[in-house]
C-alpha cells in the first residue's frame, strides 16, 4: 500500500509505464504468497510460488531504483522501502527453505 500511495504523486507521463509496473510487481508479491499458501499441499508448487514472490519483490526494488534516479522519491524513502523489501525477501526465502514445515 505504501507503493500505491507514493506512486500517486508520479508524473502523468509515467502512468502506463513506471507507475503501473511498480504497482503490479508490489501487488504480485502478496498474490504469489497467497497462491503458495493455497498450493502448500504440493511442495514443489509452494516453493515455485515462493520463488515467484521473491522475484516480484526484487523487481519492485529495481523499479524503486528508477523512482530514485528520476527524483520521484527521495533517498530516505528509497532506503526505507528497499530495506523493507530486503526483509520481505529474507522471510520468503526462509519460508522456501523451510517448506517442509508449511507443506502437508
pLDDT digits (tens, 9 = 90+) for 53-83: 999 999 999 999 999 999 999 999 999 999 9
> What CA–CA distances, in Å, run from 10 to 25, 73, 81, 84?
16, 9, 16, 21
Residue 45 falls within a domain, yes or no? yes
> CB of 22 within 8 A of CB of 7?
yes
Residue 8 falls within a domain, yes or no? no
Residue 30 falls within a domain, yes or no? yes
* Percentage helix, strand, coil for the chain under 3-state DSSP, each rounded to 5: 85, 0, 15
Q: Which domain holds residue 92?
A: 19-99
Residue positions counted in the chain? 104
**CATH number of the domain residue 48 falls in:** 1.20.1440.60
How many domains are contained in the chain? Answer: 1
pTM of the model: 0.94
pLDDT of residue 43: 97
pLDDT digits (tens, 9 = 90+) for 90-101: 999 999 999 999
pLDDT of residue 17: 94
CA 22 – CA 24 distance, rounded (Å): 5
Residue 5 falls within a domain, yes or no? no
pLDDT digits (tens, 9 = 90+) for 4-56: 999 999 999 999 899 999 999 999 999 999 999 999 999 999 999 999 999 99
**Taking Cα atoms as reference points, which of 59, 63, 76, 61 lies closest to residue 14?**
63
Residue 104 falls within a domain, yes or no? no
Amino acid at each position: 500500500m505504501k507503493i500505491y500511495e507514493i506512486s500517486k504523486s508520479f508524473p502523468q507521463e509515467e502512468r502506463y509505464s513506471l507507475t503501473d509496473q511498480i504497482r503490479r510487481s508490489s501487488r504480485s508479491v502478496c498474490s504469489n504468497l497467497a497462491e503458495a499458501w493455497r498450493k502448500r499441499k504440493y511442495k514443489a508448487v509452494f516453493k515455485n510460488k515462493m520463488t515467484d514472490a521473491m522475484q516480484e519483490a526484487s523487481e519492485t526494488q529495481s523499479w524503486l531504483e528508477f523512482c530514485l534516479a528520476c527524483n520521484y522519491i527521495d533517498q530516505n524513502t528509497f532506503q526505507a522501502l528497499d530495506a523493507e523489501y530486503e526483509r520481505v525477501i529474507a522471510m520468503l526465502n526462509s519460508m522456501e527453505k523451510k517448506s517442509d514445515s508449511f507443506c502437508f
